[in-house]
Amino acid sequence: MRVAVTGGGGFLGSHLCEALLRRGDSVVCLDNFSTGDPANIAHLLSDPSFEFQPADVSLSVEVTGRVDAVAHLASPASPPDYLRQPLETLAVGSRGTENALRLALRHDARFILASTSEIYGDPLVHPQEEAYWGNVNSIGPRSVYDEAKRYAEAVSAAYRRTHGLSVGIARIFNTYGPRMRPHDGRVVSSFITQALTGEPLTIYGDGGQTRSFCFVDDLIRGLVALLDSSEMGPFNLGNPVERTVTELAEIVLAMTGSPSEVKHHPLPVDDPVRRRPVITRARDVLGWEPEIDITEGLRRTVAYFGARPDRLGTSAAAIRGGQSETVPLAAVKTTATAQQAIPSPSAAVTGVASATSPGLPASAG
């Protein structure tokens, strides 16, 4: 199978590319590195079954040759990223999704959408099952992400109804693991970075808000199961074990043996208080459920972060200053296909942006 993966240079996308290559698929990875990192796919460039194509998928999604499936993951995903890129986030959720759907339609390919638990907004129903329609503020700061994803689901469902396209929708709940950026603003990466550098762990609100944390390998198995099926869903993909943010902080502190303290900050606007997926549908229809518990998942993630001490110091300072890591578009070469050349990680690092977003949420998209 030849799969086009938009956002393939990001955290989840790069793991998906790897998983597909491992089982013998060919992969065309499209990315503009607005929030991804060239280092995520550097090790894949020598694989003849892997092609990297620089592209802003909000403008167009063109792939030459056969395409059997399209996995549409391109979108800023962490709150600091989408709050810093509000219009880009709306564009990639709307026009980007339509461009990816049109690519699938042209090739009569399977299409899967990386949607999100943010579809449920600040949920009034707990835990969340797919039949729940959500509680979203359509004009709040987070709406650029939540509503873009809701539109992405709507247009995907409409392509299925109107054109008979084989569409699958994954509502992804907080996922963590190696290749998260140390200061991407998500709670797991922030806590690990802060613990490893001795900085205070930042908790927004009283820390009683809950999240369900899914390890990346589990999540990718779910996405591949969805890709291989002809089901639309939507499917909640996440770990149903609910943890408070305070509990997560305690686990990270114990695991790293860090002397860091915990510091509380005001809860950001519209930050959801409780999150837990009901995964019965994914279990019954896709035969999927998470297997890796939080201790093992965090152990692997801490090991990944610990092996990159050079990035931790600046990242801890950036978290303290309320900054989010980014690779500006100007740092991305736009003609990489010939020799699979992509910007080096060091080029990306020199381009770290300095936009500040005070009061960033301790949660992920």
Ligand X SMILES: NC(=O)c1ccc[n+]([C@@H]2O[C@H](COP(=O)([O-])OP(=O)(O)OC[C@H]3O[C@@H](n4cnc5c(N)ncnc54)[C@H](O)[C@@H]3O)[C@@H](O)[C@H]2O)c1
If the CB atoms of residues 62 and 264 are measured against ligand X, the closer one turns out to be 62
The answer to whether 5 and 30 have CB atoms below 8 angstroms apart is: yes
Closest approach of Cβ 281 to ligand X, in Å? 17
> Looking at 26-34, 41-49, 204-212, 265-273, which segment touches ligand X (CB under 6 A)?
26-34
Q: Which of 2, 4, 13, 221 binds ligand X (CB under 6 A)?
A: 13
The answer to whether 132 and 125 have CB atoms below 8 angstroms apart is: yes
Asked whether position 272 contacts ligand X by CB under 6 A, the answer is: no
Bond before 127 cis per omega within 30 degrees? yes
> If 0-12 CB within 10 Å is exposed, 13-18 middle and 19+ buried, where does residue 89 land?
buried
What is the Cα–Cα distance from 128 to 331, expressed in whole angstroms?
A: 40
What is the Cα–Cα distance from 117 to 239, expressed in whole angstroms?
A: 12
If the CB atoms of residues 34 and 323 are measured against ligand X, the closer one turns out to be 34
Asked whether position 226 contacts ligand X by CB under 6 A, the answer is: no
If the CB atoms of residues 92 and 278 are measured against ligand X, the closer one turns out to be 92
Closest approach of Cβ 152 to ligand X, in Å? 9
# residues near ligand X by CB under 6 A:
33
> If 0-12 CB within 10 Å is exposed, 13-18 middle and 19+ buried, where does residue 9 land?
buried
What is the Cα–Cα distance from 90 to 152, expressed in whole angstroms?
A: 10
Asked whether position 361 contacts ligand X by CB under 6 A, the answer is: no
Chain mean position to CA 139: 22
Asked whether position 75 contacts ligand X by CB under 6 A, the answer is: yes
> Looking at 9-17, 42-50, 104-112, 240-248, which segment touches ligand X (CB under 6 A)?
9-17
What is the Cα–Cα distance from 288 to 286, expressed in whole angstroms?
A: 5
The answer to whether 58 and 92 have CB atoms below 8 angstroms apart is: yes
The count of other CB atoms within 10 Å of the CB of residue 158 is: 13
> Looking at 1-9, 42-50, 261-269, 276-284, which segment touches ligand X (CB under 6 A)?
1-9
Which residues participate in catalysis according to the annotation? Answer: 145
Closest approach of Cβ 111 to ligand X, in Å? 14
> Looking at 2-10, 97-105, 124-132, 245-253, which segment touches ligand X (CB under 6 A)?
2-10
Asked whether position 286 contacts ligand X by CB under 6 A, the answer is: no
Q: Which of 99, 116, 143, 212 binds ligand X (CB under 6 A)?
A: 116
Binding-site string for ligand X from residue 163 to residue 202, where x marks contact by CB under 6 A and - marks none: ---------x-xx---------------------------
Which helix (H) or strand (E) element contains residue 326? none
Asked whether position 239 contacts ligand X by CB under 6 A, the answer is: no
Which helix (H) or strand (E) element contains residue 70? strand 69-72
Tokens read off for 208: 């009683």
Under the rule (CB under 6 A), what is the footprint of ligand X? 6-7, 9-13, 30-36, 55-58, 73-77, 81, 92, 96, 114, 116, 172, 174-175, 364-365
